[in-house]
Structures are given as C-alpha cells and as structure tokens.
Chain A
Amino acid sequence: MYLLYSFRLALQSLWREKWINLLSVLTIAAGLFMITLTLFVVYNIDLATKRLPARFSVMLYLNDGLSEQETGSIIAQLKKNNAVEQARYIAKDKALEELKGVLKNADYILEGIDENPLPASIEIKLKKESVNIASVKKFAAEIKKIKSIAEVEYGEQFLNSIHSIKGMAKAGSLSLIIIMSAGVIFVCYSTIKIAFYRRKEEIETFKLLGATRGFIRAPFVIEGSVLGMFGGIASMAAALAFYHVLFYKVTATIPILKILVFPFETFPALPIVGLLLGIGGAVIALGRIRFS
C-alpha cells in the first residue's frame, strides 16, 4: 500500500543528492562495463576452443611395407573405436605430394632425395566430445598397441596449452567478476548508508509513529535498485560504444579482429544485474532495523 509513497520518497532523495548519485551510477557503470569486457574475452576464448575439434587430428605413422589388406584391417579396427569420427589413409606418394603442396616455392628442399622418406599414415578426426586431454591420451595409448603402427602424434603440448589457457581465462574472469560485483555492491552500500544517516532523524520519527521495517527500508531499497539499474543502462551504452569502435574503426586497420564475436545477449541482463546488485548493497547497508 505504501509502495507508491516509498517510490516518491526514493525519487525525492535521489534528486536531492543528484551529483553524488550520478557519480555512484558512473562508478557502477564502470564496474559493470569491466564485467562485460571480461565476458567478451572469455566468450571469444570459449568460441575459439570450441572450433578446435574440427581442426584437431591424430596422425598414425605406419611401418613401411604394409599390404593393402593390412592397412584396411587397421582402418576398420580404428573405425570401431567410439572416439573416432573419420579415418583417412594417406599413402607414401600422397604424403609427398601434400608436402610439396605445403612447401610450394621452397620445394628445392626435396631436390636430391631419390627415395620417398615419408611413411604412409592415417589421419584421424576425433568426435567433438573426445577432443580433450584425457580422452586423446587414452585413445593414443590404445592405438599404440596396434601392430604395424610406428608412431602416434597428436600435439600433446598444444592441447595442454589450450586447456591451461582456457582454465586460466575462466579462473581469472571469475575472480574479476566477483571483485567487480563486490565493488558495485560496495558503491551502492556506501551511497545508501550515507542517505540513511542523512535521514536518521526522520527515520527515528517514523519508527515512533509506528512505521514497520518494510516502510522504512522500501525507499532505500528502491534507491539502491534505481542506482544499480541506471548503472547497468550506462554500462550497456558503454559496451555498445566499445563494440562500435572495435568492429567499425579498429577492424579497418586490424582485419583479423573481425573473427571476434560480441555477446549481445548479455546486454539486456546488465540493467537487471545492476538492479540486483543495487538491492544487495542497499539491504546490507540497512542491516537490522531495531525499534527499541
């Protein structure tokens, strides 16, 4: 019933201290913008690692002199493995041809080599879910047991690096998000605490006239949520400006940045996150209201 009046009180208070409140909104916006940037970085790292399975392959180098039947039996055996998506046989001649293609103008390196030094091989594409360190290691260990396979190569170090980069990015971003969220809560907490002390006399009178905790708290919680929400809206504007500068200005000089993707779906969440953090800050600032 008193919510309308609480809104009026909150808006009056916000207007009375408009410059301090504007400063709070901008600080909250800066915090939420940092969270958005963090999510942008993590989102792109995640996308890059998701693209990895399509490019990742395990190479099996075969012993020389295997018959067609023996090679066919190895491929059949590999295809039975649940982790395998595709297995492609590369004959010695084909391997040399591919190498020449890769070397292009530098194919003089191969001049003077009479005999093809490359072994026949099988290139294996694994299923998406199997492209992780544990599964690949297990798979490599299994296929090493197959006779006639000279060597298994799968870029263990590369996989490890990607895994640790992803892990570090996730841990770092989570810490940053927690710190920034705590910062936003603290800004709301301080602003509401100051507003509360400024109106301490008035609140004491309200209590003596029979005001409930809800009546006393409501205007401050509304103030906190408005500060948080406007901080969220301002951070949304900053993120849009960042997107515009990055994708229209910076990519003109550094085209490779075009592969980056901006997580637009996080945008509408910013005012809501701001609002919730604002409410959190206000509730902590008000603490327990005592009547006697």
Chain B
Amino acid sequence: MIHFSNVTKFYERQAAIKNITFSVEKGEMIFMTGPSGAGKSTLLKIIYLSEKPDEGSVTIAEWDLSKLKESSIPFLRRNIGVVFQDFRLLDNRNVFDNVAIALRIRGMLDSEIQDWVMEILKMVNLRHKADSFPQALSGGEQQRVVIARAIVGEPTILLADEPTGNLDPDTAAGITRLFKEINARGTTVVIATHNRELYRNTGRRVFRIDSGNIVGEEIG
C-alpha cells in the first residue's frame, strides 16, 4: 500500500530524512516513533503529497508519485485521510460542517452528506456537538472532529501525526481504540507519535526514527 525506496528529503541543504526504505501492507497499522524533529512528520507529508522527495521513489496504492500529474493530486489525496498535528479545523464552521467539507469536496449531495456525517459523528461520540464551533470544544473533542473528517470519505489510508499530543491518558486511550476500530474495517493506518503508551502491547510494527533515519523496527 505504501512503499518508500531510498527516499531523502532536504530542507535548506539539511536532510530531514535520509535514504529511507520501508513498506506498509494493505490493512496494516504501523507506528513511527522518535524524538521531535526526527523526521516523522516529513515522512507523513511525503505520503499525503504535501512535500516532494528529493531522492528515491514513493509508491502509494499503485500510484508512483514521481509520475503523478499535479492535477491528479486531489484524487489521490481523497484516498488518504489525515489527522493533522495542528488539527486544521475551520474556526468559522461548526463540527458538522468541518466534517462535511471532506464530502462536499468529493461532490456529494447535501441529502447524502447529512446522514453520513451524523453516522461518523456518532462513531467518534460527538453527535451531540454537531452544532458547536471548534473553539467551544476540548482538545480531545477537537481531535475526534479531525479524526471524523479524516475517515468520513472512507479513505484506504489513514495518517495521524501526534494524535494524542496534548491529551490526558484516558482521552488518549479512547483515541487509540478509535484507530484500532478504523483499522479493523480494513483501512491502512500510519501513526506518528512519541507517546509509548500508544503502541505498547499493540502487537503492531513500530519504526524507530532518529535524525532522519530508520534506526530500528520492533513489535509494540
């Protein structure tokens, strides 16, 4: 589903990731861990095409990114749900509209959107907050809105960048359960985190990243 081959990315002549090679199978759930600035976010950005690798090749769901036309990028992105580290919620829209926007972009009709969004909000336990605005939500609730927006379009890949960054342990455990449920439905999940609790005893592959290199792989 995701294949990196000798990928390097520079920022102002400094390599953020160096010569990285790894693969993620369809339906797999993996973790990337390491200190801040290790290159985890850069890896995710390359997967959702926010950054281009300077060297090496990347294949996402049979799409060779080096051969991808710019006009095709939106269509590939619709297959990738992203839980952004900075949430990227739209402050002037309520929870419902923040989630629905992912479907409106896909050209879905309002009548179809209504039921589907409410279904997803129920799944993340936010149905009662559909009319609230992001500023009125707690960090955990905002995180769940972002997850709802990422999965509402039924992507084949879900990426999460530090999804439990500022959350208390109970809320973090709830978010982890949610990712497992999403993965159980067949979605490939990639989580970048420095929170060990998130991957401990999961039985999933964990890639240890440091200074832009994969320095180890273990089972969590």
Contact = CB atoms under 8 A, between A and B. Distances in A.
A208 B77 contact: yes
A208 B70 contact: no
Contacts, number: 56
9 contacts: A206-B101, A207-B74, A208-B88, A210-B105, A210-B106, A212-B74, A291-B49, A291-B70, A292-B52
A7 B49 CA distance: 29
Contacts of A213: 71, 74
A211 B105 CA distance: 5
Contacts of A210: 74-75, 77-78, 102, 105-106, 153
A205 interface: yes
Contact of B105 (A201, A215, A290, A291): A215
A19 interface: no
A1 B71 contact: no
A208 B71 contact: no
Nearest to B77: A210
B149 interface: yes
A1 B107 CA distance: 5
Contact of B50 (A4, A208, A215): A208
Given A1-B109, A2-B107, A202-B90, A209 B101 contact: yes
A106 B185 CA distance: 111
Interface residues of B, number: 27
Contacts of B82: 208
Given A202-B90, A208-B88, A209-B149, A292 B48 contact: no
Interface string A190-217: 0000000000011011111111110100
B26 interface: no
Contact of B102 (A2, A207, A209, A292): A209
A205 B70 contact: no
Interface in A273-287: none
Interface string B149-171: 10001000000000000000000
Nearest first, the 9 closest Cβ-Cβ pairs linking A and B are A1-B107, A210-B78, A210-B77, A291-B73, A211-B105, A205-B88, A210-B74, A212-B74, A5-B104
Given A209-B78, A210-B102, 20 more contacts: A1-B107, A2-B107, A4-B110, A201-B88, A205-B88, A206-B101, A206-B105, A207-B74, A207-B77, A208-B50, A208-B82, A208-B84, A208-B88, A210-B106, A211-B74, A212-B71, A290-B70, A291-B73, A292-B52, A292-B70
Interface of A: 1-2, 4-5, 201-202, 204-213, 215, 290-292
Contacts of A209: 77-78, 101-102, 105, 149
A208 B70 CA distance: 13
B51 interface: yes
Contact of A292 (B51, B90, B105, B109): B51
B189 to A, nearest CB: 18
Contact of B73 (A5, A205, A292): A292
Nearest to A211: B105
